[in-house]
A and B are shown apart, each in its own frame.
Chain A
Amino acid sequence: MAKAILGDSEKWFIVHGVQDDFRTDGRSCESYRHIELETGILSNTHGSARIRLGSSELLVGVKVELGTPKPQRINEGWLEFHVDCSPNAHPVFQGRGGKELSDNICSMLTRVYRNNTVMDLEALGVIPQKHCWVVHVDVLILECGGNLIDAASIAVKASLYNTGIPNISLTDGDEGEVEINLPDDPEDVKHLKTINCPVLVTLSKIGNRHIVDATDEEECCCSASLVMGVTRRGHTVGVRKMGGGSLDPESLTEMIDSGKKIGRQLHISLDKLLKIEAGMSEDIKQTGYL
């Protein structure tokens, strides 16, 4: 995992600042950095999103494919997550260097999307037992500026909101087999219901207080952090403690309450932004990727 190298006095400066609710960039303990989000930028995908959270940049592409349903759930499709750390972000990610980080993010995303309330998987079924839609969500980390888990979850929700699954029609073919026909119009798509999709909130413990959206330097000073998946209504969908330090049971309770409040606020802003972006007219000229 690429970590910033800090001297002892720099660490003390950050720790003391956090005690006074004042971080190095002037934020309070519970505020996020400036987030830039854009969806529908990659033409070869069914849905995509790009997020820039402070100095972290991620790109998410969603591609849907037809696959065979799992034996326990013959009417439903499923989601597959994959996270890739590009060597662009840090040279240590070359080859298998970024495996630990990408496994952590991937397993956390899989964990929060694994229950039934989050996504309507029956909408992804096509023909029971034979065909279903498999949604491949691929996250690419382009720049590491701290708090990659939260950024990944926001971008995943935005890209799933943006995903359009082709409206296929089924006709009877020869030999009793059903034929699947794709529509001619590429705009003939149905969208997924992402209203219950969760967002991951990472709360890092520094000294006696906890902060949200830690930068690279702040992540160095934190002994333990709690990652929780929060839905729009404030329900927790999956919790995991990360890091080699320990937490007090009382501060654990405080962190869960904080995470719930912050998660709800994040959902409100994100849903508003996605609605505005979806409503924006197609005539706005896109002047390139960056």
Chain B
Amino acid sequence: MPTDSRRLPVPEVSHSPELFCSSDPTSLINDDSLRKDGRNPEEIAGIFMQCGTVSQAKGSSFCELHKTKVICSVYGPKDVEQKEDFQMIGKLKCDFKFAPFSCHKRRGHIADLEESELCEVLTQALSSSVCLHRYPKSQIEVYVIVLENNGSALAAAITAASLALADACIEQYDIVAAASVRVFGKENFLRDPTFHEEYFPHQLSKKNDFNNGVVTVALMPTLNQVCGVLSEGCMESSVLQEAIQTCTEEAQNLYAPLRKCLTSNLGDINV
């Protein structure tokens, strides 16, 4: 991806020093069947959510899922930018970006193909829940930035975006909760994978690469409707279906904390 050379006088090609270290071949689960950060395979990460973090935005939220930190701001409904786009259904415009310092490897300032793909998945997941027919001739802008990526960034982003939309009083059919699962082997699922537990094909040899992957599912809990699925890695279809089932259960469990976060935010307003 060509960098914007007019903005930054940096060398064309530079590598992170970590690439030159030998890769760590330790397995994901040690002998006590615990993961690297001390959790059980079925144990979910601690989640922290707060609304109204960005005071200038119509609605905003901050979500922290183990160490992954995501901020989301919502602006709108406002007039559509190009006057030719006159439509009776509102437009949802999302922007998803990893901050350059957020991942292990430095990311560029301009969104690359991976970020635009995740942005599309985020837009499509939110489009199923926002009542766009209530906002004709308008657009709603959702800006998500990942401050620190320690795994499950897309899941945290979708949850934070839906929370921010609720904080902005944008009508939705239901709040969207997302969860992800790392699959390795037929029976092993790790819920809420950290960055080291995520799926990187270059760290695995060809023999171990079967039934290995990451699955992210976005769900509307009360309606029980799936609004987003993204998976990577070669898996048997039964393993994939089981992984989707696991993610769905986990997203259902997120409903109670999300509801509590929104209602506690209302309690602060002096009536």
Residues of A within 8 A of B (CB): 70-73, 100, 103-104, 106-107, 110-111, 114-118, 120, 224, 226, 231, 234-249, 252-253, 256-257, 260
Dominant SS at the B interface? Answer: mixed
| B110 contacts A by Cβ under 8 Å | no
Place the interface of chain B in its size category.
35 or more
Stretch at the interface among B32-40, B52-60, B240-248: B240-248
User: Are A239 and B230 touching (Cβ within 8 A)?
Assistant: yes
Contact check, A256 vs B241: say whether CB atoms are below 8 A apart: yes
State in angstroms the CA–CA spacing of A115 and B124 once bound together: 25
B 235-268 to A, binary, CB cutoff 8 A, 1 in contact else 0:
1110011001100100000000000000000000
Contacts of A238 in B (CB 8 A): 231-233
Determine the chain A residues whose CB is within 8 A of the CB of B7 once the complex forms. none
Q: Is the CB of A118 within 8 A of B225?
A: no
Complex contacts, A243 vs chain B, CB 8 Å: 124
A219 and B105 CA atoms in complex are apart in Å by: 39
> Please, how many angstroms separate the alpha-carbon atoms of A103 and B118 in the complex?
11
Do residues B232 and A104 form an inter-chain contact, with CB atoms below 8 A? no
Check B240 against A72 for contact (C-beta < 8 Å).
no
A241 x B117 contact (CB < 8 A): no
Docked complex Cα distance between A166 and B213 (Å): 34
Which residue in B19, B227, B228, B233 is a CB contact (below 8 Å) of A115?
B233
> Is the beta-carbon distance between A246 and B234 smaller than 8 angstroms?
no
CA gap between A239 and B236 in the complex, in Å = 12
- Rounded to whole angstroms, the CA-CA distance of A224 and B212 in the bound complex is 26
Q: Which residue of B lies closest to A111 (CB)?
A: B232
Complex Cα spacing A102 to B206, Å: 30
CB < 8 Å neighbour of B226 from A70, A71, A117, A246: A246
A79 to chain B, nearest CB (A): 12
Given the interface pairs A116-B201, A242-B124, the reply to whether A236 lies near B234 with Cβ below 8 Å is yes
Question: How far, in angstroms, from A5 to B137 measured CA to CA in the complex?
Answer: 19
Q: A253-B241, A256-B241 are in contact. Are A116 and B121 (CB under 8 A)?
A: no
Known: A240-B121, A246-B225, A249-B224. A260 touches B237 (CB 8 A): yes
* A96–chain B nearest beta-carbon distance, Å: 13
Quick check: is B95 within 8 A (CB to CB) of the other chain?
no
B177 → A minimal CB distance (Å):
13
Q: A81 CB to closest chain B CB, in angstroms?
A: 9
Query: Contacts A107-B113, A117-B206, A246-B220 known; A240 to B229 CB distance under 8 Å?
Result: yes
List of A residues within 8 angstroms of B128 by Cβ: 224, 244-246
* 11 intermolecular pairs with C-beta atoms under 8 Å apart: A71-B20, A72-B19, A111-B232, A115-B209, A115-B213, A234-B236, A236-B231, A240-B231, A249-B244, A256-B240, A256-B241
Q: Which residues of B contact A116 (CB under 8 A)?
A: 201, 204-206, 209
A72-B202, A240-B121 are contacts. A114–B227 as well, Cβ < 8 Å?
Answer: no
